[in-house]
Amino acid sequence: MDTPSPPPPSPSVGAGRYAPSPSGDLHLGNLRTAILAWALARRTGRTFHLRIEDLDRVREGSEERQQADLAALGLDWDGEVVRQSDRGAAHDAAIERLVGRGLVFECYCTRREIQEAPSAPHAPPGAYPGTCRDLTSSQRAAGRARMRELQREPALRLRADVSEWAVEDLWAGTVTGAVDDLVLRRGDGVVAYNLAVVVDDAAAGVDQVTRADDLLSSAPRQAHLAHLLGLPEPGYAHVPLAVNTAGARLAKRDGAVTLRDRLERGEPVAAVVARIGDSLGLPGCRTAADVLERWEPSTLSPQAWVVQPWIVQPSG
């Protein structure tokens, strides 16, 4: 008689997610992050959701190809795929709640003006200098007139009431980062990423945000925004980026770095998963399920994954 498998962990309150932008095919770093997000959610009994962040750059056919690639690796998700562009009413309602509390102001600055303005001491380069935060009524009227001339709307910014906020990350521990008067809605009318991601994660019950560590600095401001909206602040799990041999973020210019690139060159899906498994110290993985079964999060290296130029590894 076969030995029965151990029962799965008791479901926790919450979920994990993966949320790509449909701006092109997912490269190997994206796929590695997706596998880790899925594995972390599944091993803790969480549900796992797929959200398409299509508020900005959208390339025709990308969403369908991305979903097909994730499924080919062995990933699955719970419920329907959510598209951020369908969530406008929820985004608007969140902004209105902040407006009602006096936590929103109009900003009439151009991007160039913000970049060239003197910043507060110790502020990161390009940080918003607070130019429009406390304008008089006549100054606001002049700003609106200028926006009409430019044929755009004022951006809406959060009137932040703190300068920093702390979050908990599975690998980085307690991270305290800067909070600024972040944009809630851009001058072109599109809701900003920081607002949308907070509202959409909360609506899906996401309490475990797994993503690449280039977004770690955004976590404190997003968690603080969740706090202001009365939403639960999630825990974070930022994983190292994939980079090329020069140390730059992996990109299409680095050659055959997407799953479809590899398939076109005769490399099977299992071999691609094996490369991702090797980067985690798990030789011999062929599907995402192998990673789920064998991977221990405590063993994840904090170093970026340096993706070497590849030759085809045929099946056999």
Q: Find the largest Cα–Cα distance for the chain.
A: 82
Strand (E) or helix (H) holding 235: strand 235-239
Question: Is pLDDT of 74 > 50?
Answer: yes
> What does the alpha-carbon distance between residue 86 and residue 90 come to, in Å, rounded to a whole number?
9
Question: Is pLDDT of 117 > 50?
Answer: yes
Same fold, 15-86+240-306 and 88-201: no
Task: Read off the pLDDT of each residue in 55-68 and give the average, rounded to a whole number.
Answer: 93
Q: Could you tell me the two tokens for 279?
A: 């980067």
Domain 88-201 CATH (choose: 3.10.580.10, 3.90.800.10, 3.40.50.10470, 3.30.450.20): 3.90.800.10
- The domain segmentation of the chain, as residue ranges, is 15-86+240-306, 88-201
| Closest alpha carbon to 27 in 277, 210, 239, 256 | 256
Under the banding of pLDDT at 50, 70 and 90, the label for residue 56 is confident
68 in a known ligand binding site = no
108 in a known ligand binding site = no
Task: Read off the pLDDT of each residue in 114-140 and give the average, rounded to a whole number.
Answer: 81
pLDDT tens by residue, 76-107 = 999 999 999 999 999 999 999 999 999 999 99
Active site residues: 252
> What does the alpha-carbon distance between residue 105 and residue 107 come to, in Å, rounded to a whole number?
7
The whole-number pLDDT of residue 314 equals 52
11 in a known ligand binding site = no
Least confident of 61-75, 102-116, 247-261: 247-261
> What does the alpha-carbon distance between residue 53 and residue 86 come to, in Å, rounded to a whole number?
10
252 in a known ligand binding site = yes
236 in a known ligand binding site = no
Q: Which residues contact 67 (CB under 8 A, 6 or more apart)?
A: 50, 81
User: What does each C-alpha distance from 134 to 107, 139, 159, 223, 293 come to in angstroms?
Assistant: 10, 9, 10, 24, 55
**To 5 degrees, how large is the angle CA 265–CA 271–CA 277?**
140
Question: Is pLDDT of 124 > 90?
Answer: no
211 in a known ligand binding site = yes
Backbone angles phi, psi at 50, to 5 degrees: -115, 125
The whole-number pLDDT of residue 2 equals 40
Question: Is pLDDT of 246 > 80?
Answer: yes
Q: Could you tell me the two tokens for 208?
A: 């475990």
Backbone angles phi, psi at 123, to 5 degrees: -75, 145
The whole-number pLDDT of residue 120 equals 58
Of residues 129 and 49, which shows the higher confidence score?
49
Predicted TM-score (pTM) of the model is 0.89
Q: Which residues contact 126 (CB under 8 A, 6 or more apart)?
A: 114, 115, 119
Using CB atoms within 10 Å of the CB of residue 49, give its burial: 0 to 12 exposed, 13 to 18 middle, 19+ buried: buried
132 in a known ligand binding site = yes
Q: Does domain 15-86+240-306 have CATH number 3.40.50.300?
A: no
> What does the alpha-carbon distance between residue 54 and residue 76 come to, in Å, rounded to a whole number?
20
> What does the alpha-carbon distance between residue 50 and residue 20 come to, in Å, rounded to a whole number?
8
